[in-house]
Structures are given as structure tokens and as C-alpha cells.
A and B are shown apart, each in its own frame.
Chain A
């Protein structure tokens, strides 16, 4: 789905009034809420997410600096819950990229020109399909567009193998314990619980 906008911030992806949930699920219905629905709850008909041709879309294509602003991981949950699995853009905000990795959600960085080309094709070609291959690190559409993308090898490895982040860190327990032995909590902080 071509979301032809730059600097899409996390306030647009998931507005703050929906951050009050205490679960991780159910955020999909609030994705891009203020762009999808007007103040009285009516659908904003020409917003791209409503277009029938993009109902099954699992790849979102957007402009530079996608996911900037607040650190809310709920932005990733909303995209994933809605049905997207990948965002392709020419750049991403750091916190959003990090949050994506934690959720098996893929951010793919292509050049401005490549993003513009895919956007154009998606708009012009009915039923346009794109394949993002994490194994081969390649984006292809079977119509002549093919572009490689880069990803930190360790992150790619974890995504492909569904590795649990916390479990991986706890494998370093001896090192963590050794660090803590050299850096104890201060006397003042120890007093907090008494206060």
C-alpha cells in the first residue's frame, strides 16, 4: 500500500487516546485513526487505507523518516495487528526501527528513487505485487523491479530464527553479575524503598 507521505510520525500511526490499553493486542483498528476517520467517526473515503485494492496489503511503502516522534511501540503493534508485515521507506526513525525488530516487523530501507518507483507502480498497476525476501535481502515485483536491501546480520539472524531477546541476554548472566559486583546500587538509592 503506497502511503505517499514523508515524516509519518507515531502520533499519526497510533494517536495517543489509544495508548490507554494495557494489552499488546487490538491496536489494528486504531491504525492511522485520525487519517481514516473524521471527528464524528465517519470514514474519510479517499484515505488510501480504505481503498479496496489495498485491503490485503501486507507491505506499506512510505516516504523518509517513517515512524519519527514518540517511542510508543504501539505504533508497530498497530501496523502488525492491522496486517502489515513490512514497511519500505527511504529512512526510519531509530526508536521505530528498534521497536520493529522486537516484534518480528520488518523495516526495509531503499533509496528515494526506488521508493518513488514502487509507489508509482503500486498506484498505476491494479493488483500490483511486491515480494520482500529476508533470506536473500531483496525486494522484487516480478515486473523488472529488483533492489537489494541492507540489514544488520545479527538482527536478520534473530528475525529469521524467532530468537527471544531476553533469553539471549540472560545467556550472559556471569558477565552481568560480574558488572553488578563492581557497580553496586548507591546507599541513597537503597534508602528509597524505606522512604
Chain B
């Protein structure tokens, strides 16, 4: 057998059939479901008189629409309430396990999968959400799908797929202090653009990637979609096995041993060919801040908002001009002079315990600038409780941050956590599109440490110069 990439191995292992002249039919090991993209899919099943083929391979939670204020209060938005009720009704009717709002396991769907040991290496994982790419950190093929495909997977547990191309992004060197997986992700998108990896599955490799914790790898894979990638993958290794071992739904005993033996084969063979290879030197990275209205519009915190004449292509210059107008920024402004109104530490990109520890380290003994409103939203109930045991909540509250219940929160403004028009936010989320966090809201994507620092300073500041207490 010729040498194969990690992607090819996982793909090949899941092909149910590959009919001549048609797309291959892939089996889906795990289908994650949330309240926003599923109602029409379940309705479709109902209309066609179909059942969910594999309820035990389907796991649901509520995350996008729910408030992050204390649980138990009624949901004030009637349409959100209706959507959540629809999910509850659908899961009951079709026998799908649901980690509901009152559950100790509830959280953002891409956080709880790995946390519970449901997400494991070598799987095919789909969800009606583009940041499904997160699970690729385990060496699984994980990608976002639309509602019609959600219905398709519910009905058949399979998905016809055209085979994507492969891209290897090799990161060598060493991440400097203050430069995180989030900055690596932003650096990559800044370099290749928001369509740089369209049609490709990215495999991240190299000593820097090997050195990332599982949480760092999840941040990196999470952002793959922002480069246009179909999915992002990292080969599993001892770090992966140590993370998943013993988790509630991970295999145990002999099943675990057998699983690990198989997972050890999930690496790209020497000599395996990729359609594209990109080399990144960690020395080229810095703490980054987006200035525009897509994640590719990004510079180092020590740099300036770009001049319009620096854009060679006419369409790019016009896009930059429109972005600067929307963001209320002037070309040439040093990023460290940009003041913020709000700070959001949360989202499936950066709301895990290591993210919270990093932000708490910055916040310890400091106080949020009086002009800033800052909130910390842990990615799951489990993370919230772990953070409280470690006293991180106290550090945040003492410093004047709000400490919230888990959910997608201000990443996308579908719930009460929303920016007002013109408000400028330092956010650890994944998208800075116009209106993403609220109509007229101005989003700047950063790492958790950079967000905490901005909350305290009142403006963006280079975390590498921070004086920790």
C-alpha cells in the first residue's frame, strides 16, 4: 500500500461504498446536535416517516441560544425558547441523548464532546456548526454541515462526500512566551487568507504542534474553518491518549488498550503526499489582533492598522476601506492605542480551563478598567466548576470581570450577550465579521491573555511586556 496521510487513513476507514461516478458514502461515527440547526432536520424526518438511525451515535446539547445568566430563570426571548423546546421535544421523540440546560454536563457542543470522552481519535464527526473542525485535534475527521445534511445523517448515519484535497501546515521552532495557539491560528489565516485552505483538509504538524496541549490543539483546529478549510487534523499521540484516558465515555480496560494500539497507527506515513505544504516558523508569530472584518485582516499587537495603499488588489483595497469604516479605525493607528469597550473571554475557541488559567494569571491582583465591561464565560459546566475549585472565579470577580454560566454567549450574539452598535470588543472567539457579535458591533479577535490584558489596560497591549502579580 502506498504511503497515506492521516486524513486518507481516517477517510478510507469510513468509506461504506464508493459507487462509480458518485461521491463516496462515509459512515459518521458521531453526530453532535444543537438547537439552532436541527429543528428543520427533525421535522424533515417526521414528514418522511423516518427514525433516527443511530440514536446512540447522536449527542445533543443547548449552547447557542441559551442565556449565560443563572440557570433556572425563564428564557426571555420567546423565539429562542421555542427553538430550545423544539430540541427537547425532538430528542425525547427520537430517543436522542440530550445534555440539557439543567445538566451538569451541558456546555458548548465542541467543548463537551472531548471533555466527556465522546470525541476520540480516528472518528468521523459532524455537527450543524462550522467549528466542528475543533475535534480534528484528536486526529478525527470532523467538519461542519448544513441542516439538510443534519437530516441526512439522522436518517442514514452516512454522508455522501467529495474527497477533499490535503494541505500540510508544518510549524517549526518554539512559541515565545505570550504567543499562544490562538496566535498561531491567526498567524496562519493572516498569511493564507480566509479562503487559503478552501477545498482542503489541513494536517498540522511539526514540533510546535507536538508541543501544544490538547486544549491548544483544539484552539488551532477550531480556527481551521476560518482559513476556509474543510477540516483540520492533528495526529494523536501520548498527549492525546493522556487527555482522553479515563474520561466518562472513553473505552476502558482492554477496549482502551485495543483502541490506543489502533490510534497509534493514525499518523501520516513517511513519504505520504499532500496537495499543498506550507511551512511556518514560530519566530514569525506574535500576539495578534484582528483589525478588520474577517480573521485574515490581522496584525501583530506592536504593529499599526494597515494603510490602504498596502493592498495591491483593487477588491482587497475596497474591502479594507469598507472594513476600516465599519470598525471605526484610521489607517496607521498603532494597535496599542485602540481602546476597548467590552471584553469577552469565551467561545469554543478559547474557554477551556487552560484559557481561563492564562487569563486569570493576567488578571490576578489587577482591576478591569472603569470604562470596560468584561465577561468570562466558561465553555461548560464542568469547566466552570473546575475553575471555581481552583479559585479562578474569585480572581476574575475580584478584578471586576463578570463570571457567567456556560454557553456560546457573545461569540455570535444570538442570546442576550450582545454588543451595542459601535461597541468595540476584545474577544477570544473566532469571527469578526460585520455584526457578528451584534449589529454594528466591532470585534477584535485575540488570545485569552491578550483579552484579559485589554480589559485591565482599557486598550490593546503587548502581553509580552505584562507585569504579572
- Chain A residues 14 to 65 lying within 8 A of chain B, measured CB to CB, are 15-17, 19-24, 34, 39, 63-65
In angstroms, Cα B412 to Cα A79, docked, is: 21
- Please list the 6 inter-chain residue pairs (A to B) with the smallest Cβ-Cβ separation, ordered nearest first: A73-B146, A102-B148, A99-B146, A22-B39, A71-B144, A20-B79
**A residues 145-195 touching B (CB-CB < 8 Å):** 152-154, 165-166, 168-170, 172, 175-176, 179-180, 183, 185-193, 195
A-B contact pairs, 17 of them (CB 8 A): A16-B413, A20-B79, A22-B40, A34-B435, A39-B440, A68-B228, A73-B146, A95-B146, A166-B48, A170-B155, A172-B16, A185-B56, A187-B251, A188-B251, A189-B118, A189-B249, A192-B249
Interface residues of B (CB under 8 A from A): 16-17, 19, 21-23, 25, 27, 29, 36-37, 39-40, 43, 48, 50, 54-57, 59, 64-65, 77, 79-80, 82-83, 86, 95, 97, 117-118, 128-130, 144-149, 151-152, 155-158, 160, 162, 164, 194-195, 198-199, 228, 230, 248-252, 255, 294, 315-316, 319, 412-414, 421, 431, 433-436, 439-440
Contact across chains for A72 and B315 when beta carbons are under 8 A apart? no
Are the CB atoms of A12 and B433 closer together than 8 Å?
A: yes
Total number of residue pairs linking A and B with CB closer than 8 Å = 189
Give Cα distance in the complex from A39 to B251, angstroms.
52
- C-alpha spacing A73/B48, complex, angstroms: 20
Is A69 among interface residues, defined by CB-CB distance under 8 A? Answer: yes
Q: Are B83 and A22 in contact (CB under 8 A)?
A: yes
Q: How far is the CA of A131 from the CA of B400 in the complex (A)?
A: 60
Kindly provide the distance from the CB of A52 to the nearest chain B CB, expressed in whole angstroms. 24
User: A161 to B117, alpha carbons, bound, how many Å?
Assistant: 43
Q: Which of B22, B252, B414 meets A20, CB within 8 Å?
A: B414
Q: How many whole Å from A142's CB to the nearest CB in chain B?
A: 28
| A111 at the binding interface (Cβ < 8 Å) | no
Which chain A residues lie closer than 8 Å to B59 at the CB level?
192
Tell whether A107 is near chain B: CB-to-CB under 8 Å: no
- Using Cβ atoms and an 8 Å threshold, which residues of chain B touch A153? 21
Cβ of B117: which chain A residues have Cβ within 8 Å of it? 188
B34 CB to closest chain A CB, in angstroms? 11
| A190 to B162 CA separation, bound complex (whole angstroms) | 31
Cα of A69 to Cα of B296 in the assembled complex, Å: 12
Given contacts A11-B431, A189-B249, contact A20 B23 (CB under 8 A): no
A residues in contact (CB < 8 Å) with B: 5-7, 9, 11-12, 15-17, 19-24, 34, 39, 63-65, 68-74, 76, 91, 93-95, 98-99, 102-103, 152-154, 165-166, 168-170, 172, 175-176, 179-180, 183, 185-193, 195
| B294 & A7 in contact (Cβ 8 Å cutoff) | yes
Residue of A nearest to B296 (CB): A7
Contacts A19-B36, A65-B195 known; A193 to B414 CB distance under 8 Å?
no
CA–CA, A17 to B80, complex, Å? 10
Instruction: State the Cβ distance, A116 to closest chain B Cβ, in Å.
Output: 9
Say whether B316 contacts A165, CB under 8 Å: no
Give A35 to B29 CA distance when docked, in angstroms: 40
Nearest CB to that of B129 among chain A residues? A71
The answer to whether A22 and B56 have CB atoms under 8 Å apart is no
- A169, B25: Cβ atoms under 8 Å? yes
Contact B148 A22 (CB under 8 A): no
> Which residues of A lie under 8 Å from residue B435 when comparing CB positions?
11-12, 15, 34
Which residue of chain A is the closest to B316 with respect to CB atoms? Answer: A6
Whether A6 and B319, one on each chain, are in contact in the complex, defined by CB atoms closer than 8 angstroms, is yes
Contact with A169, one of B156, B199, B251, B436 (Cβ below 8 angstroms)? B156
Closest chain B residue, CB of each to CB of A153:
B21
Q: Are A186 and B251 in contact (CB under 8 A)?
A: yes
Q: Is the CB of B251 within 8 A of A93?
A: no
CB proximity of A101 to chain B, nearest CB, Å: 9
Most buried by A among B59, B129, B149: B149
- Do B21 and A154 touch (CB < 8 A)? yes
